[in-house]
Structure 1
């Protein structure tokens, strides 16, 4: 069975359109969800001024670094790896 380029192009276009529709539909469902709205409003917080290098450094050291190290510890605990105290600091 010989499939022409036109048929392949049409099939790819239909598949792409269906995938894009799928993404848009589920994004809209996610955005309408009241729990998503609640999470998104409490998730972030105030961001520092991006042009101030010291403010950005304080932000990451005070807020993001503890969160990342806690996730790393949980991940390593789940996989059975251990951290030495000197590895953390």
Structure 2
């Protein structure tokens, strides 16, 4: 019985060492490739571009169109929840604050969020709300000015 256990451990150790050696060999091969650094730089540039695009302030819906506002609200809540689940609290709070800003009953939504979010994240949300509301008010004013120009 002990011989089988020791043999199994030895076999597992040998396979583990072989796997680690395999990983080291291909990692060195990958890093020594002539275009490795160029591909790495390009991948990082693409990631930065995507991050900048995602950081952009969300396009405001037409606040007179109830369906557009509801769709925007649901998308922002969903994005906020996904980002919070991934641990990206800053962006998650940004999206949730957008949702609260267009919500028909923001006090009730804030009560629900207060019960479900960790206290520091909820505090971030409360601190972010005035700036987001200011942004939405500016957007509403711009929309009304554009509509006045059309008429």
Question: How would you bin the TM-score normalised by the shorter chain?
Answer: 0.3 to 0.5
TM-score, length of structure 1 as denominator length: 0.48
TM-score, length of structure 2 as denominator length: 0.30
Higher RCO (C-alpha 8 Å, min separation 6): 2
The structure whose residues are more often helix, as a share, is: 2
Q: Which has the larger radius of gyration?
A: 2
